[in-house]
Structure 1
Amino acid sequence: MRSSSARAGTDGATAQPPAAGATETPEQIRRLAARAWLEMDSLGVLPTPQHFEIWYTHLCGSSPELSRRLATLLAGDSSPTAAELAVLHAECIGPELDVDAVGDRIDAIQQAADAMVEQINGNGRTLNAYGAVLSVVADRLGQDTSMEGLLRAVEMLTTETVRASERNRLLEQQLAASASRICTLRRSLAEVRQEATTDGLTGLSNRRAFDARLRRALVARNRPEGYPVSLLLLDVDHFKQFNDVHGHKVGDLVLRLVGRLLAQSVKGRDTAARYGGEEFAVILAGADLRAASIVAEQIRAALDGKRLVNKGSGEGLGSVTVSIGVAEAGRNEHASSLLERADAALYRAKHAGRNMVCVDEGVGRGEDAAAGPGDPGRRVAAV
């Protein structure tokens, strides 16, 4: 049985997180970190960085959805499993980038910025020295008004002006070099982010980016002014046969073909992703179940007409078809639940003959219906 202190900390009865939008003070950070450690220890949860981030995020009150779902996990008598916490982290906190790569570039940007500050400070010291020389010249002119004294003052002033001009020229070059380096590092950082969120074979978003974008879409869906969100899960029919009969190069060609079509089919806030292996996913922001099923059928029909041909021999390599499952997110529905419903619809499409769209109508929809293959208007089945 879970200790009462652990339950109290988790349901928020004793928690006093900083106000929304506030920045925690060092003392608050230390207190929240200590509480997170103690609660995990009392629950028998391993204090991994991922688990610590979950508890710290909950205690600081920055994610009500995470806190609500964590409370649900802790409502029973047994501690949440590592798998359950991994799902919670992925859906409520989000994917991680390559920390080492990002850290290296952040350090480099910091060094470049420090160099620029030092260069500017050095120029300030130079200007102070130049000002001191001007003061000396002014004093001498006040004390010695002879032609010889005037010439000496002008000579000194000319020499220092030339030096100051040269130092300014060098400073401009150094600042330009530093600015260029920072721009290069910013581009490099953007490339790291792109690599971390893009599938290398198809150019679509990868699973990491998909998870984060689905989470954000569902958060937006649950706002009072939120728009509908639907999900398509697609699976390439008989994909193993392409690999086994024609080799992995042809298999990769099939995946790139599907990826290219999906990229052409989504716009604006929509997201097309390679979900894993020969499976793809599309997040349709602003599309209800009816609109999503139309998009799914358009994708299915577009691929149904594609035939692969060996350019060298002219040999036909077969046709490419996909099965698609469609589901619309319900109010306050978890990403895992939406994925399960779309996956169940996809499973039915595969087992009903493939090359078809099946629609899950489990969230406030009408009675189930089914339709078999036929003309495009009858290739959408409700499940």
Structure 2
Amino acid sequence: MKFVENPTQSAEYLRQAIPLMVKYNIPPNPLNYALWYTYVSNRIPTLNFQIDQTIETYGTCPTMMSEQLFRQHVINEEIEHSEKAQAEFISIATKLGSKANAAAQETSEFRTILEESLIALNNPENANSLDNIINNLSEHTESLNKGTIRFQKELEASQAEILKLKKELQKSRQDASIDPLTGLFNRRVFDTELSQIIGARGDKSATLVMIDVDHFKRFNDDYGHLMGDKVLQYFGKLLKEECPEPMLPVRFGGEEFAILMIGKDQDQAISIAETLREKIQSIRIKQKKTGKVISSITASFGVCMKESNDTAQQLIERADKALYAAKGNGRNCVVTA
């Protein structure tokens, strides 16, 4: 990420960050300075949300969590992958250049031998010297041919290696954007898209829907994390099926999901949320061996339409407030902000 503040603004952010770091017993190191500088700038709403949740849970931000948040939000993992791929591309190109130079040198040497042989053939001393010229030319021709074949194989190998690197780079970019469990886009994509929506000119309608799986911790405790993962995977599948583009369903974190609905007003968003809620409540968790129903699943929804003067943080907070109201109303319902 780029820091674009002027010196005065930067100093103000740092002035705000240091007391917070002291308050929450955050070690004063460059990583934490950058993390909390970004926090007080309110530039990445999801980062602020995660830090607030972490502080609420632990009373501080543990070192491992700080490093994870720093890597997820402050630096761009894609840049790391790109730089690594770039270095490997340079290495391949350097090796290939060296091989090409060697092949060019062999060709140059052969040209010299060929010119000398032509001169000698025009002025042969005797039959033996003619045989020697022909044999020498034949040997160097064979050597050049082998070198050309060798270089061709090395070129093909390099091309295969470059293709492999391109695929790895493409996969790394995808991995940085996709939640591996549900197959949905992750918070990083959510932040980027939401920032673009908030920053876009005009009054294009957009609605944010926050979703939380009801009593998910208790479900995990009762039936195990593997069963819990299957529930989250089902949510991912359902959201992808019911929320095609330009809607953007994401895994917001843990058992919480979000849907950015571009061009949808609040009534349309409520209708979609109700459809999802009804499909989710129809899920029946069965025992694999007996087929006996052992549990059901429900979810709570908070719906909030973007206002013209909203910041990303304000929109998230209002949608989150509606979600908590849904939980307070007995769960398994849709509430609007």
What secondary structure is seen at the aligned counterpart in 2 of 1:245? Answer: helix
CA distance in 2, matches of 1:175, 1:207: 41
* CA-based RMSD: 3.5
- C-alpha deviation, 1:144, in angstroms: 4.2
CA distance in 1, matches of 2:185, 2:222: 28
Partner residue, 1:278? 255
What secondary structure is seen at the aligned counterpart in 2 of 1:348? Answer: helix
Q: 1:356 to 1:90 in 2, by over 3 A?
A: closer
Partner residue, 2:303? 326
Matched, 1:48 2:4: no
- C-alpha deviation, 1:236, in angstroms: 1.0
Correspondence for 1:340 among 317, 323, 335: 317
Partner residue, 2:87? 107
Question: Is the Cα contact below 8 Å between 1:137 and 1:157 reproduced in 2?
Answer: yes
CA distance in 2, matches of 1:198, 1:213: 14
Matched, 1:191 2:171: yes
CA distance in 2, matches of 1:252, 1:352: 26
Moved more, 129-138 or 274-283: 129-138
Correspondence for 1:181 among 128, 147, 161: 161
Question: Is the Cα contact below 8 Å between 1:95 and 1:209 reproduced in 2?
Answer: no
Q: 1:291 to 1:91 in 2, by over 3 A?
A: same
CA distance in 1, matches of 2:173, 2:182: 17
CA distance in 2, matches of 1:333, 1:132: 76
TM-score (norm 1): 0.66
Matched, 1:312 2:289: yes
Matched, 1:116 2:96: yes
**Residues 359-382 of structure 1: CA distance to partner in whole angstroms, max 9, x if unpaired?**
33xxxxxxxxxxxxxxxxxxxxxx
Tell me how many residue pairs correspond in the alignment.
Answer: 298
Q: 1:81 to 1:132 in 2, by over 3 A?
A: closer
**Residues 314-353 of structure 1: CA distance to partner in whole angstroms, max 9, x if unpaired?**
3322222211112233346322122112112212222223
What secondary structure is seen at the aligned counterpart in 2 of 1:240? Answer: helix
Q: 1:293 to 1:138 in 2, by over 3 A?
A: farther
Correspondence for 2:210 among 233, 238, 256: 233
Matched, 1:250 2:227: yes
Partner residue, 1:21? none
Correspondence for 2:40 among 70, 81, 84: 84
- Larger fraction in helix: 2
Which amino acid in structure 2 is aligned with residue 83 of structure 1? Answer: Y
What secondary structure is seen at the aligned counterpart in 1 of 2:77? Answer: coil
- C-alpha deviation, 1:118, in angstroms: 1.7
CA distance in 2, matches of 1:45, 1:353: 39
Structure 2 stretches lacking a partner, 5+ long = 19-28, 48-72
Matched, 1:200 2:156: no
- C-alpha deviation, 1:167, in angstroms: 0.6
- C-alpha deviation, 1:244, in angstroms: 3.1
CA distance in 2, matches of 1:144, 1:258: 87
Which amino acid in structure 1 is aligned with residue 303 of structure 2? Answer: V
Partner residue, 1:129? 109
Matched, 1:171 2:148: no
**Residues 80-109 of structure 1: CA distance to partner in whole angstroms, max 9, x if unpaired?**
866324x42577986632876665544333
Q: 1:129 to 1:42 in 2, by over 3 A?
A: same
**Residues 127-148 of structure 1: CA distance to partner in whole angstroms, max 9, x if unpaired?**
2222222222233344449776
Question: Is the Cα contact below 8 Å between 1:232 and 1:324 reproduced in 2?
Answer: yes
Question: Is the Cα contact below 8 Å between 1:91 and 1:212 reproduced in 2?
Answer: no
Question: Is the Cα contact below 8 Å between 1:91 and 1:215 reproduced in 2?
Answer: no
- C-alpha deviation, 1:8, in angstroms: 7.3
- C-alpha deviation, 1:260, in angstroms: 1.6
CA distance in 2, matches of 1:246, 1:205: 27
CA distance in 2, matches of 1:254, 1:308: 9
Question: Is the Cα contact below 8 Å between 1:326 and 1:346 reproduced in 2?
Answer: yes
CA distance in 1, matches of 2:13, 2:204: 41
Q: 1:123 to 1:8 in 2, by over 3 A?
A: closer
Percent identical residues: 29
Question: Is the Cα contact below 8 Å between 2:38 and 2:44 reproduced in 1?
Answer: no
Question: Is the Cα contact below 8 Å between 1:300 and 1:321 reproduced in 2?
Answer: yes
Partner residue, 2:58? none
CA distance in 2, matches of 1:139, 1:111: 42
**Residues 205-250 of structure 1: CA distance to partner in whole angstroms, max 9, x if unpaired?**
233333233334444xx145x8533221101122233123333333
- C-alpha deviation, 1:169, in angstroms: 0.8
TM-score (norm 2): 0.73
CA distance in 2, matches of 1:194, 1:350: 34
- C-alpha deviation, 1:183, in angstroms: 2.3
Structure 1 stretches lacking a partner, 5+ long = 1-6, 12-35, 55-79, 361-383
Partner residue, 1:359? 336
Question: Is the Cα contact below 8 Å between 2:220 and 2:228 reproduced in 1?
Answer: yes
Q: 1:268 to 1:153 in 2, by over 3 A?
A: farther
What secondary structure is seen at the aligned counterpart in 1 of 2:261? Answer: strand
